[in-house]
Amino acid sequence: MNASDNSDNPTIFGRILRGEIPYKKVYEDADVLAFHDINPVAEVHFLLIPKKFIPTLADATMEDTALLGKMLSLVPRLAKEQGLIGGFRTIINTGKLGGQEVYHLHVHVFGRRPGVDSANTALAPFASSM
């Protein structure tokens, strides 16, 4: 399977990559797709996924080093474009015990824009430090 062929990817992200499910795009290039989470836990919550099907971070190999680096390098730029100028959180859940629900590697990026009350978001425990 090449990097952009997700015909064998059974996940919801595979369906998104195949154009079967609509999504709100944040960014796309030949290797990566970023889109808003359909169940956000914060005012801004988007995901970055590789177009290459990698089920979990534990399944990544040395061949994936450049792709993973690219994904993480995109995070600050995309976060800023989404209004997260004061900071943001990144999470990669890995495996069942790591809280992973969709078995296609993805990076959660979330936060709140300046001046937004954080009482009802996943960032509430960190509000005093933001």
Question: What domains, with CATH codes, occur in the chain?
Answer: 12-129 (3.30.428.10)
List Cβ neighbours of 127 (8 Å cut-off, separation of 6 or more).
Answer: 118, 119
Residues of the chain with pLDDT below 50 are 1-3, 125-130
Helix, strand, coil percent content, the chain, rounded in steps of 5: 30, 20, 50
Distance CA 21, CA 62 (A): 31
Q: State yes or no: is 45 an active-site residue.
A: no
The token pair that represents 34 in the structure block? 């970023």
The token pair that represents 101 in the structure block? 């629900």
pLDDT score at 48: 98
Residue given tokens 């990097």 in the structure block:
3
List Cβ neighbours of 118 (8 Å cut-off, separation of 6 or more).
Answer: 112, 124, 126, 127, 130
Cα dihedral sign, 3-5-11-16:
positive
36, 45, 104, 106: the active-site residue: 106
pLDDT score at 5: 67
pLDDT score at 1: 38
The pTM score is 0.85
